[in-house]
C-alpha cells in the first residue's frame, strides 16, 4: 500500500493508530485534527509523537468544518483516498448538546464531501458506529437490518452520515465504504471508555459504576482488528457499501469486570446505578459480509486484549506512578 491518504481525526484513538500503521506500510499520510476538548489535548499530542518523526507524515491542526483549510490541503496534497474518522464521540454528551454533534458529525462530513467533489477526489472510508442499530432485539446485527430507530443524537448523526455518503455516491459516483465500528478498545483508547475507566479505578482501589444490573453486553473489538479492517477497506473501496467491524462475540459488563479483576489481581468495588438514556442494551456484530468482501479476520479476543492493555498500564505505573492518571 503506497497511497497518499488523508486522515481526519488523526490525533485520536483510532486515527493515530491508523496513521502509524499506514506509515509502516509505506504510505504518505496527511492528518488533520482540531484537538476537540472532549478529553485532554496532551493525550492526543502523545498519540502523534511517533508519526511526527516520520518524513511521510504531514499534520494540520484544524477543523473539517473549515472549508478553505481542507480545500487548500487537498489541493496541495492531492490525496487518493480520504479516511474520515473525525467526529464528536460519546453517546451521553450527545444528549446534552445534540446541536454540536450534528454540526460536527453531519455538517463536517458534508463539508468534506463537497471539498472532495470540487477536487475530484472520489474515494472515502467513513467511520460509522454500531450505535445506529439502536436497541434492536435481533442479534447478531447485520448490515441488512433496519436502522431507522437510533436512540441517541450521536447514533442519529452517524446514521445521517451514512445516508449523506450514499447521496454523494449516487449523484457523483463516489466510491464509499461506511464502517460500523463495535466498541473499540486497546492502546490509546479514550479515557471515557469502560475498559480504561474500570482498569484505572480498580488499580487505584476506587469504585466503579455499572449502569443497570450489569447484564448489558458489548461486542468489544481490539484496535488492531479495526485497523486491519480499515486498511482492507482502503484497498477495496468501490461503489457504496456498509460493513460491520466487530469481534462477533458478546461479553456482559459484569464479566468484563471479572476479566479485569483476573489480570489486575484486585477486586473491584462495584456500585450499581440506573441505566442511562441513550445507552443500548447490547451490541453484537454479524461480520460475515466483512469476512467475505474485505477478508476481515479479527484476531484478538477480549481476554488477550485486556491482558495486553493492562500490561501497558503497568508499564506506565512503573514509569510515572499511579498519580499520573
185 has catalytic annotation: no
3-state secondary structure of 224: helix
Q: Which three cell numbers stand for residue 82?
A: 480520504
Strands 28-33 and 4-8: parallel
Active-site annotation holder among 101, 133, 154, 185: 154
Show the domain range for 28.
4-184+223-248+279-298
In a domain, residue 99? The reply is: yes
DSSP state of 11: T
137 falls within a domain? yes
Residue 318 lies in a domain: no
Find the length of the chain: 325
Condensed to tens digits (0 to 9), the pLDDT of residues 226-244 reads: 999 999 999 999 999 999 9
Distance CA 135, CA 150 (A): 8
The SS3 of residue 182 is: coil
- Total domains in the fold of the chain: 1
Kindly state whether residue 238 falls inside one of the protein's structural domains.
Answer: yes
User: Residues 17, 127: contact at Cβ < 8 Å?
Assistant: no
CATH of the domain at 83: 3.40.50.720
The ranges of the chain with pLDDT < 70 are 1, 322-325
**Residue 311 falls inside a structural domain:** no
Q: pTM of the prediction? A: 0.96
Tell me whether residue 173 is in a domain: yes
The H or E element containing residue 208 is strand 207-211
CB-count burial class (<10 Å; 0-12, 13-18, 19+) for 308:
middle
Residue 68 lies in a domain: yes
Residue 52 in domain: yes
* pLDDT at res. 315: 84
Q: How far is residue 236's CA from residue 189's CA, in Å, rounded to a whole number?
A: 27
Q: Assign residue 261 a region (left: φ > 0; alpha: ψ between -120 and 50; beta: otherwise).
A: alpha
Cβ-contact 235, 295 below 8 angstroms = no
Q: What's the confidence (pLDDT) of residue 325?
A: 65
Q: Which residues, in sequence order, are CB contacts of 221 under 8 Å at separation 6+? A: 181, 182, 183, 184, 185, 245, 246, 247, 285, 298
DSSP secondary structure letters along 45-87: HHHTTTGGGSTTEEEEE--TT-HHHHHHHHHHH--SEEEE---
Prior bond of 140 cis (ω within 30°): yes
What is the C-alpha to C-alpha distance for residues 229 and 35, in angstroms, rounded to an integer?
A: 25
31-85: pLDDT as tens digits:
999 999 999 999 999 999 999 999 999 999 999 999 999 999 999 999 999 999 9
pLDDT of residue 303: 97
Amino acid at each position: 500500500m503506497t497511497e497518499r491518504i488523508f486522515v481526519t481525526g488523526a490525533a485520536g484513538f483510532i486515527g493515530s493508530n491508523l496513521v502509524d500503521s499506514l506509515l509502516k506500510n509505506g504510505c504518505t499520510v496527511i492528518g488533520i485534527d482540531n484537538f476537540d476538548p472532549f478529553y485532554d489535548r496532551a493525550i492526543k499530542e502523545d498519540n502523534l509523537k511517533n508519526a511526527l518523526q516520520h518524513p511521510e507524515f504531514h499534520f494540520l491542526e484544524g477543523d473539517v468544518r473549515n472549508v478553505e483549510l481542507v480545500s487548500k490541503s487537498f489541493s496541495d496534497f492531492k490525496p487518493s483516498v480520504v479516511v474520515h474518522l473525525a467526529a464528536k464521540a460519546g453517546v451521553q454528551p450527545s444528549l446534552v448538546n445534540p446541536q454540536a454533534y450534528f454540526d460536527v458529525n453531519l455538517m463536517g462530513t458534508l463539508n468534506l464531501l463537497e471539498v472532495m467533489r470540487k477536487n475530484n477526489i472520489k474515494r472515502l472510508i467513513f467511520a460509522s458506529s454500531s450505535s445506529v442499530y439502536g436497541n434492536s432485539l435481533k442479534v447478531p446485527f447485520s448490515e441488512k437490518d433496519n436502522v431507522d430507530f437510533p436512540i441517541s443524537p450521536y447514533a442519529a448523526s452517524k446514521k445521517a452520515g451514512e445516508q449523506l455518503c450514499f447521496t454523494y455516491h449516487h449523484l457523483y459516483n463516489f466510491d464509499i465504504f461506511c464502517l460500523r465500528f463495535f466498541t473499540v478498545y486497546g492502546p490509546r483508547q479514550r479515557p471515557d471508555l469502560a475498559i480504561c475507566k474500570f482498569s484505572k479505578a480498580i488499580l487505584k482501589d476506587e469504585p466503579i459504576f455499572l449502569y443497570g444490573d450489569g447484564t448489558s453486553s458489548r461486542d468489544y473489538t481490539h484496535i488492531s482488528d479495526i485497523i486491519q479492517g480499515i486498511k482492507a477497506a482502503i484497498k477495496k473501496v468501490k461503489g457504496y457499501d456498509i460493513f460491520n467491524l466487530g469481534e462477533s462475540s458478546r461479553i456482559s459488563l459484569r464479566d468484563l469486570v471479572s476479566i479485569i479483576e483476573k489480570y489486575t489481581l484486585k477486586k473491584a468495588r462495584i456500585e450499581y446505578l440506573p441505566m442511562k438514556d441513550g445507552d443500548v442494551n447490547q451490541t453484537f456484530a454479524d461480520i460475515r459480509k466483512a469476512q467475505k468482501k474485505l477478508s476481515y479476520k479479527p484476531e484478538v479476543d477480549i481476554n488477550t486484549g485486556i491482558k495486553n492493555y493492562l500490561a501497558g498500564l503497568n508499564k506506565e505505573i512503573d514509569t510515572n506512578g499511579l498519580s499520573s492518571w
